Structure 1
């Protein structure tokens, strides 16, 4: 009996040890699973412009109105906001009180030509932005019955702080940053003769040409302040900083697949999301970690993804 008990206890201990060993992953496999996966890229030589970006707002330069030519009752033609009106088109007609009175007096129709409504003609072409009176309304001579804008007159008003006026002038080249991400090259035209006293900015006009932007849209306009300069650059995501943004660093990938923290001096950011950096410890043949480096400590073991050809150099 004692032999059977010993046999059962021994068999149970053997099975328990076997289960414990099979459930724990090998030490090497656990280490591989804990190694963070990162993507890398090589620094590139990039052309950077010393530029400044200003706020700008779209505005129609040419606006017009349609006015009532006499006092009377308006007969509307069905125009509505958003309709296009051509110069010379009849917008509405107006019948005076005297003409209305003739209807009851002239039973024979002799005075019919004097009872004909007076036509109100659009003096210029444009898009209707407001219809101020409806059918049957009583209007006075000179009342604005509709407002128009000419779409071809849409411009950008660029707000330039007065401290830049010695470097930003009419004729300066600029780049309009459109809402869809496109960049349009243009030039600053004449500046308005007055400054905004509240924010101390002067508005410069930039011609937009034909586009679908509405009035009042906020855009950005970049104005170069000097010629392009060559510098070393990495993707913006590769550059990390502290809360005060006083210290910047990147992680350099070593030959031993370890990430080494390298302090850098961060500079300008290009429109294609490249950031200028300066460091004596980095060159164009090195590799920096672009993603997966957040929270890494110096000399951490990483699992780099194959490089995708680095970042191509370009000139904005």
Structure 2
């Protein structure tokens, strides 16, 4: 019994060892097959890597040579032929077409840019160089300071035609504006008694006075007023018309009493008419009275050229009060000011293209010129007379000739 058990035990151990050996053999076979598959796959992968590496190197060479412009014309230099690598040759052909297309685009863009720049250069110099302006030099001249007063024209010689009888106006021989000579009949007046007799058709046998009176002018002149017409009833001594002598036209100057000292008799003056016409006059007389309302004294001004000037015309009279010789003046258009008219300046050129703001002190001025007291300007200085409005200090300008 003991031997049998031992034998069975040994057989069991041997069976177990065979099983173990079989497992180990299978395991080794599996490992060997895995090892062989790895080696095969690594060989295949290495071949692909080599191919990819060669492709990358070839592409880098193509890129380098394309930058130099050589690959586009000599692809055989790198051995890129259809036999060795048809894919790379196709890529090279696509690259060449793309290069030619982009070269054309770049060429057209550069051409348009050059044309645009050349056209801009014709217009931009005046824009970038500065503001177009006109300049002038200061001048030295005599300047007169005037004071202005109001005046009006009047006829100094007038005849008032009056009725010498009470009655009705039967005829009017002149109209307004007609020239009347001394002794001309202007009106015919019939007395009311004669008018009544004529209306009753009563005839007087021994009549000495017919009742009709002719009214004549005593002076020559123009009929400027006509107060009655035919059929009007007038009283004895009533004003019928006014005859004015055109040669007696004069100017009455009204001067406020505080400025009387500035008016000198027999001094010259300038008469400015509403239409801008100017003529010279002379202060000839002063009236010894003052208007109670306006407190102005009246002066009489004579002038030579009085033709076609009507009466009752309002004028401006400029009286010279100060004369400055050798005054440095600039055109009035060159002077600028602020909103409050307290600060004044001009734009003076310091070189051919730069203008600086120069604060000035004004003196007297007239319609076109302004005296510059400070600073002292030279006759060779260049002052902007047109285009200076709104320019800042040290502005860039272009002088127009």
- TM-score clears 0.5: yes
CA distance, structure 1, for counterparts of residue 220 and residue 94 of structure 2 = 112
> Contact 1:99–1:114 at 8 Å: present in 2 too?
no
Q: What do residues 177-203 of structure 1 show as CA deviations (whole Å, max 9, x unaligned)?
A: 344545433332222222234433212
The total of aligned residue pairs comes to 303
The reply to whether residue 159 of structure 1 matches residue 254 of structure 2 is yes
1:314 aligned residue: none
CA distance change for structure 1 residues 166 and 15 in 2, over 3 Å: closer, same or farther?
same
Q: Which has the higher strand share?
A: 1
Structure 2 distance, partners of 1:158, 1:33, is 55
Using the size of structure 1 for normalisation, the TM-score is 0.83
Aligned twin of 2:202: 105
**Is the contact made by 2:145 and 2:365 (CA closer than 8 Å) also made in structure 1?**
no
In structure 1, what is the equivalent of residue 267 of structure 2?
A: 172
Higher relative contact order (CA 8 A, sep 6+): 1
What secondary structure is seen at the aligned counterpart in 2 of 1:114?
A: coil
Cα 1:105–1:280 shift into 2, 3 Å: closer
**SS of match in other structure, 1:283:** coil
Aligned to 2:301: 206
Question: CA-atom RMSD, angstroms?
Answer: 2.8
Q: Which aligned pairs between 1:1-316 and structure 2 lie closer than 5 A?
A: 11=104, 15=108, 18-19=111-112, 22-23=115-116, 25-26=119-120, 29-33=123-127, 35-103=130-198, 104-106=201-203, 111=207, 114-115=209-210, 117-179=212-274, 181-209=276-304, 210-270=306-366, 273-280=368-375, 282-306=377-401
Matches of 1:57 and 1:102, distance apart in 2:
50
Larger Rg: 2
- The C-alpha deviation readout for 1:82-138, integer Å capped at 9, x for no partner, is 11212210002111232234441228x764x63363111112222222211112222
Flag the structure with higher helix content. Answer: 2
Shift of 1:253: 2.2
Report deviation, 1:64: 2.3
* TM-aligned CA distance change 1:183 to 1:97, over 3 Å: closer
Give, in angstroms, the shift of residue 27 of structure 1. Answer: 5.5
Tell me the alpha carbon deviations over residues 199-240 of structure 1, each in whole angstroms, 9 at most, x when there is no partner. Answer: 332121101343322222222222222444321001111111
Distance in 2, matches of 1:252 and 1:274, equals 17
Separation in 2 of the partners of 1:185 and 1:57? 15
> Aligned partners of 1:297, 1:245: CA distance in 2, in Å?
18
Query: 8 Å contact 2:363–2:372 — kept in the other structure?
Result: yes
- Counterpart-to-counterpart distance in 1, 2:346 and 2:340: 17
Q: Tell me which residue corresponds to 1:311.
A: none
Distance in 2, Cα, partners of 1:13 & 1:216: 84
Residues 149-184 of structure 1 deviation map (CA, whole Å, 9 limit, x = unaligned)? 222222111122222223323333323234454543
SS at match of 1:87: coil
